[in-house]
Amino acid sequence: MPRMTRLDDITVCPMTEADLDEVLAIESVSYPKPWAREHFLDELGSPYAFPLVALNGDGRVAGYICPVLLLDEGEIRNVAVDPGMRGSGVGRLLVEAVLEECRSRGAAYVGLEVRVSNQAARALYRKLGFVETGVRPKYYENGEDAVLMECPLDRSGES
């Protein structure tokens, strides 16, 4: 299980089914094609996934992230922060928690796809060591390209 992480009064911990109402509320205002409850339930039941939530001081969900780890390849499938909490470091904390967990489990890298127009997410990933490795043309429902990004991990235990 991922180690608990704190940033001021934010705690990162494993997602549970009890978090899903709040997760779905954030999901629905964050994406044009939001994941359904069943999709999150699949992640919660998968042996390869380790979805995490960032909880604020009163236990409410400030954000979440859905990573998987298959052999030595990590992947971030979804990450979103409550619009009222954006810009305060929650997204960074969630991605860092995934990088740390994947590194500690021996992953070589963590990859993801991001809309070419999503400057906030691309800046966040770049800041944390992701590099752009390719483009999937017209990947999204509106014809937008996906940018492929990867963060190589140092498996010697040092970041």
Ligand X SMILES: CC(C)(COP(=O)(O)OP(=O)(O)OC[C@H]1O[C@@H](n2cnc3c(N)ncnc32)[C@H](O)[C@@H]1OP(=O)(O)O)[C@@H](O)C(=O)NCCC(=O)NCCS
Cα torsion through 127, 1, 17, 11, rounded to 10: -50
Question: What is the Cβ-side half-sphere exposure of residue 85, based on CA atoms within 13 angstroms?
Answer: 22
d(CA 58, CA 73): 34
**Cβ distance to ligand X smaller for residue 15 or 81:** 81
**Which residues from 124-153 bind ligand X, rule CB under 6 A?**
124, 127
DSSP-derived secondary structure letter, 86: T
Span near ligand X by CB under 6 A; candidates 4-12, 32-40, 42-50, 112-120: 112-120
Is position 98 an interface residue for ligand X (rule: CB under 6 A)? no
Pick one of 119, 134, 136, 159: the residue that binds ligand X (CB under 6 A): 119
Residue ranges binding ligand X (CB under 6 A): 30, 79-81, 86-92, 114, 118-121, 123-124, 127
